[in-house]
Copies of this chain bind each other. A is one copy, B any other.
Amino acid sequence: MPRYTAPVDEVLFLLNDVFQIARYDNLPGFADASSDVTAAILGEAAKFCEEVLQPLNQTGDSEGCTRHPDGRVTTPPGFKEAYRRLIEGGWLGLSAPTAYGGQGLPATLTAVVNEFLCSANMAFSMYPGLVQGAVAALLLHGDEQQKATYLPKMISGEWAGTMNLTEPHCGTDLGLLRTKAVKQADGSYRLSGTKIFISGGEQDLTENIVHLVLARIEGAPEGTKGISLFVVPKILVDADGSLGERNGVSCGSIEHKMGIHGNSTCVMNYDNAVGWLVGEENRGLAAMFTMMNEARLGVGIQGLALSEVAYQNAVAYAKERLQGRALSGAKFADKPADPIIVHPDVRRTLMSIRAFNEAARALVLWTALKGDVAHRSEDEAERQAADDHMGLLTPVIKGVLTDRGFANTVAAQQMFGGHGYIAETGMEQFVRDARISMIYEGANGIQALDLVGRKLPRDGGRAVMAFFNEVQTYIAERTDDAVMKAYVAPLATALGHLQQATMWFMQNAIGKPDNAGAGSHDYMHLFGLVALGYMWCRIVEAARGKQAAQGNDGDAQLDAKLVTARFFMERMLPETAVQLARIKAGADAVMSLPAEAF
């Protein structure tokens, strides 16, 4: 049976010591989240995740969701009751505006809670996750009536939400989509078409589901410029807010998939369904994109979350499983064998995952804080800088954290030998569940292209220059620090590789965009390593500061930070050299085979 303990202390260290969240107290909602309050909230979230959600994770996988002949979908046993408790705990409204019944606390806290929820039970966590996405879209683009109608019920958790983008023939290329919307005399629309891969499209957890749907209004331009966003409730809402008639939307089937079996992935049929335009006509894609940063940050968090829970289980097994003897001589001569954590290759694996997890969590929180600044600051320059950061780092976090997060679940599974391949230990479920995070909300190849093709050149490179400047300044100010230079020197080398790669694109990809495409994957991962390396430097500095303040009395967890950072610098960061070499190799060998030769 797998286990999970939410890393509350680790989060508090990051929030209080590394990022000093108290400095943000001028932002709305932040003063309410004092250190004590935050600790209490996270403690409650941890308890809910560990005691309620985690025990439902394996059964949710083995039981899955069921679609009944009448189109109803039931979620796995226990999910309904757990969802009720989620609602009661107010977890859906933690960071939502108080005007609609939310608690208005920093969205950064929601990012933390989302990690815990996902580690405990990814399939379950996607139900509230999608609600958050739909709430964000309505907040940004809905009119006052739409907000008043839907938001309070969604923020309380009574109603769920979904995002309907994909159709059988179009995923990444939404310009191809065919779902039709026909305008009615009363200003509403009638939608017809088929959407696929709709997470939580139908379920038995909530009394209503608010579908956000991309469709093409009759007569709209072809391609991406003719797409509009609509709100289509499963059950129509009467003027007094009570539930009325069933709308013309139903679940045609649910998919048999590799993992996240506890989440219903639906084919949704829209058959003359009543919907209302959200935002402007033909501006639906833009509306989607403004909420994409948060959604993609959420998926990056899933990569981290599964890496974390897989790591915890691998550590526990490595300490318990007796097999073989340490290369340097038996460590537990009284036992029939040593625990496998004595073996360097087991250590190497665990250290690799740990060195990723801790820095990835820092990167998520750093970026989530920027998100709060971007949405809540009264200073426009501050908002813009934070928004630049979000835009730049979002594809990096989504792509790198899910690629590496998945790889880490595989590595953690490997620690179990044959037992890891058996469903009972739960390790193979982490692998299957984590796999989707590399695919949805824009497959990782698209993230890389978004980074290189859109985010780098945007506003004359303002965002990337600001990032380089911050890291470079940080390094320069610490080069003379006897301890810190061991960490900032390798970071400087890696940053140099990233800057060279950026320069190479500027010189070689404008005239030949295939050079950007061929290097985009490596560039995204190179960027990720530099960002994680920077996080490690900041973690080390905060740990040293705390050690100094505590009188350096050998706090094992703080000592461990320095060792883990060294491991990262010695064994993970050096990959940037190869990534740069691959980028500079350009597109020739990649593109020169004719398609028929494949």
A interface residue numbers (CB < 8 A to B): 166, 169-173, 175-176, 196-197, 255-259, 315, 318-319, 322-324, 327-328, 336-337, 339, 341-351, 354, 406, 410, 413-414, 417-418, 420-424, 428, 431-432, 435-436, 438-440, 443-445, 448-449, 453, 512-514, 516-518, 520-521, 556-557, 559-560, 563-564, 566-567, 570-571, 574-575, 577-578, 581-582, 585, 587, 589-598
Nearest Cβ in chain B — how far from A149, in angstroms? 31
Establish whether residues A417 and B171, one from each chain, have CB atoms under 8 Å apart when the complex forms: yes
Within 8 Å by CB of A521, from B348, B423, B591, lies B348
Across the interface, which residues of B come within 8 angstroms of A438, CB to CB?
414
Kindly list the 10 A-B residue pairs having the minimum CB-CB distance in the complex, ordered from nearest: A344-B517, A258-B428, A327-B513, A570-B585, A567-B589, A344-B518, A345-B445, A173-B323, A256-B423, A560-B597
Nearest Cβ in chain B — how far from A100, in angstroms? 32
CA distance in complex: A345, B435 (Å): 19
CA distance in complex: A172, B338 (Å): 13
Establish whether residues B414 and A256, one from each chain, have CB atoms under 8 Å apart when the complex forms: no
Establish whether residues B257 and A423, one from each chain, have CB atoms under 8 Å apart when the complex forms: yes
CA distance in complex: A380, B124 (Å): 64
Establish whether residues B439 and A418, one from each chain, have CB atoms under 8 Å apart when the complex forms: yes
Across the interface, which residues of B come within 8 angstroms of A514, CB to CB?
327-328, 344
Establish whether residues A347 and B171, one from each chain, have CB atoms under 8 Å apart when the complex forms: no
Establish whether residues B418 and A166, one from each chain, have CB atoms under 8 Å apart when the complex forms: yes
Across the interface, which residues of B come within 8 angstroms of A449, CB to CB?
345
Contact status of A257 and B428, CB under 8 A, knowing A172-B324, A323-B171, A577-B578: yes
The secondary structure that dominates the A interface is helix
Establish whether residues B589 and A517, one from each chain, have CB atoms under 8 Å apart when the complex forms: no
Chain B, residue nearest A259 (CB): B421
CA distance in complex: A175, B318 (Å): 19
Within 8 Å by CB of A589, from B351, B414, B589, B590, lies B351
Establish whether residues A443 and B421, one from each chain, have CB atoms under 8 Å apart when the complex forms: no
Establish whether residues B574 and A581, one from each chain, have CB atoms under 8 Å apart when the complex forms: yes
Across the interface, which residues of B come within 8 angstroms of A341, CB to CB?
595, 598
CA distance in complex: A70, B232 (Å): 54
User: What are some 11 contacts across the A-B interface (CB < 8 A)?
Assistant: A173-B323, A176-B323, A176-B336, A328-B514, A344-B518, A345-B449, A348-B518, A406-B410, A414-B445, A556-B596, A574-B578
Nearest Cβ in chain B — how far from A406, in angstroms? 8
CA distance in complex: A29, B564 (Å): 56
A196-B418, A328-B512, A560-B593 are known; give 19 further A-B pairs, CB within 8 A.
Answer: A172-B417, A173-B324, A256-B424, A257-B423, A319-B598, A327-B514, A327-B516, A328-B514, A344-B591, A345-B517, A346-B445, A347-B591, A414-B438, A418-B440, A421-B439, A563-B592, A566-B589, A571-B582, A577-B578
Chain B, residue nearest A338 (CB): B173
Within 8 Å by CB of A597, from B345, B348, B521, B559, lies B559
Across the interface, which residues of B come within 8 angstroms of A521, CB to CB?
345, 348
Establish whether residues B323 and A431, one from each chain, have CB atoms under 8 Å apart when the complex forms: no
Nearest Cβ in chain B — how far from A553, in angstroms? 15
Contact status of A593 and B315, CB under 8 A, knowing A417-B171, A421-B435, A521-B348: no
Contact status of A571 and B598, CB under 8 A, knowing A417-B443, A439-B418: no
CA distance in complex: A574, B579 (Å): 9
Establish whether residues A315 and B348, one from each chain, have CB atoms under 8 Å apart when the complex forms: no
Within 8 Å by CB of A582, from B428, B574, B592, lies B574
Establish whether residues B556 and A594, one from each chain, have CB atoms under 8 Å apart when the complex forms: yes
Chain B, residue nearest A429 (CB): B258
CA distance in complex: A578, B570 (Å): 10
Across the interface, which residues of B come within 8 angstroms of A422, CB to CB?
255-258
CA distance in complex: A524, B366 (Å): 37
Nearest Cβ in chain B — how far from A168, in angstroms? 9
Nearest Cβ in chain B — how far from A334, in angstroms? 15
Establish whether residues B431 and A258, one from each chain, have CB atoms under 8 Å apart when the complex forms: yes
Tell which of A319, A567, A587, A591 has the most Cβ of chain B within 10 Å. Answer: A591
CA distance in complex: A254, B5 (Å): 31
Chain B, residue nearest A515 (CB): B344
Establish whether residues B517 and A343, one from each chain, have CB atoms under 8 Å apart when the complex forms: yes
Across the interface, which residues of B come within 8 angstroms of A170, CB to CB?
323
Across the interface, which residues of B come within 8 angstroms of A435, CB to CB?
410, 413, 421, 428, 431
CA distance in complex: A318, B597 (Å): 13
Across the interface, which residues of B come within 8 angstroms of A453, CB to CB?
327
Establish whether residues A593 and B323, one from each chain, have CB atoms under 8 Å apart when the complex forms: no
CA distance in complex: A2, B259 (Å): 19
Across the interface, which residues of B come within 8 angstroms of A448, CB to CB?
345
CA distance in complex: A575, B582 (Å): 10
Tell which of A172, A413, A436 has the most Cβ of chain B within 10 Å. Answer: A172
